[in-house]
Copies of this chain bind each other. A is one copy, B any other.
Amino acid sequence: MAEDGWTECVRSLKGVILDMCGVLYDSGAGGGAPIEGSVEAVKRLKASDLQLRFCTNETQATREKFVAKLRRMGFEIDVSEVFSPAPAVVSILKQRGLRPHLLVHDDVLPEFDGVEKSDPSCVVIGDAADNFSYQNMNSAFHVLIGQEKPTLFSMGRGRYYKETDGLKLDVGAYMKALEYACDIEAEVVGKPAPMFFQSVLNDMGVQPQEVLMIGDDLVNDVGGAQQCGMKGLQVRTGKYRSAKPRSI
């Protein structure tokens, strides 16, 4: 963005949405580590006139635990300010009367406590990490292939993310595996789905063009925001450095 465009953009802003992993902190062993300057940046945004929300595709913990981790790192963040895919998919399941088979991280399971899971009629996958075993993938596949019209919800569609000890495959890779095996297309809940960003905008009560989305993922953060009419800005932390242009 040219200098003048940028100044104009900042003047018209009423709100900012921040991606979290790779922008505020790098995930990894022991919960990860904050990125230099990010605690102070959040503090300054909160002290400004701008509305602030956090938007993450994090599905390795409940929002409560996730926010508690970030607060321990020094971030002033409340659960009500954080938007993540699990509560969004729970809302969709209830609306459509669907019973999920879950292929997710153990630590995000409590988000689905109130959801009927017997005799599953769809599959929900998240960033399941080590739970992406061959056996668990086959169990999810069996539920899908046994349905007349297989329904797969994917909490995000990221290719990979950065942990402190290197890049890790994200849920999008496993979404593609199940899509291919069953010849279906998953319904993505989370970034970059427009419905997901819209729910954040509704909560802020502002127009898309008044909001800047800041993230480290060119497709899911910047691209997704721009498709909704927001402005998008890519930081040079998180997965940015290690990503070649063709692989983002």
- Minimum CB–CB distance from A241 to chain B (whole Å) comes to 13
Q: How many chain copies does the complex carry?
A: 2
- Minimum CB–CB distance from A32 to chain B (whole Å) comes to 17
Binds B, one of A66-74, A114-122, A178-186, A205-213: A178-186
Which of B130, B160, B174, B182 lies in contact with A135, CB distance below 8 A? B130
- B-chain residues with CB within 8 Å of residue A141 when the two chains form the complex: 160, 167, 169, 173
* Whole-angstrom CA separation of A141 from B166 in the bound complex: 11
Contacting B at CB under 8 A, from A133-155, are 133-135, 137-138, 141-142, 145
Which of B138, B174, B246 lies in contact with A183, CB distance below 8 A? B246
* Whole-angstrom CA separation of A169 from B179 in the bound complex: 12
- Minimum CB–CB distance from A121 to chain B (whole Å) comes to 17
> Per-residue 0/1 for A45-59: is the Cβ within 8 Å of any B Cβ (1 yes, 0 no)?
000000000000000
Q: Are B138 and A169 in contact (CB under 8 A)?
A: yes
Closest to A170 in B: B181
Which of B129, B167, B172, B178 lies in contact with A145, CB distance below 8 A? B167
Q: B-contacting residues of A (Cβ < 8 Å)?
A: 128-135, 137-138, 141-142, 145, 159-160, 166-170, 172-174, 176-183, 242, 246-247
A-B pairs with beta carbons under 8 Å apart, 16 shown:
A129-B134, A130-B133, A133-B134, A137-B169, A138-B167, A138-B169, A141-B160, A141-B167, A145-B167, A159-B181, A159-B183, A169-B177, A172-B180, A173-B181, A176-B176, A177-B177
Beyond the given pairs A141-B160, A173-B181, A176-B180, 7 more chain A to chain B contacts, judged by CB atoms under 8 angstroms and listed by A's residue number, are: A137-B173, A138-B169, A173-B178, A173-B180, A174-B177, A176-B177, A176-B179
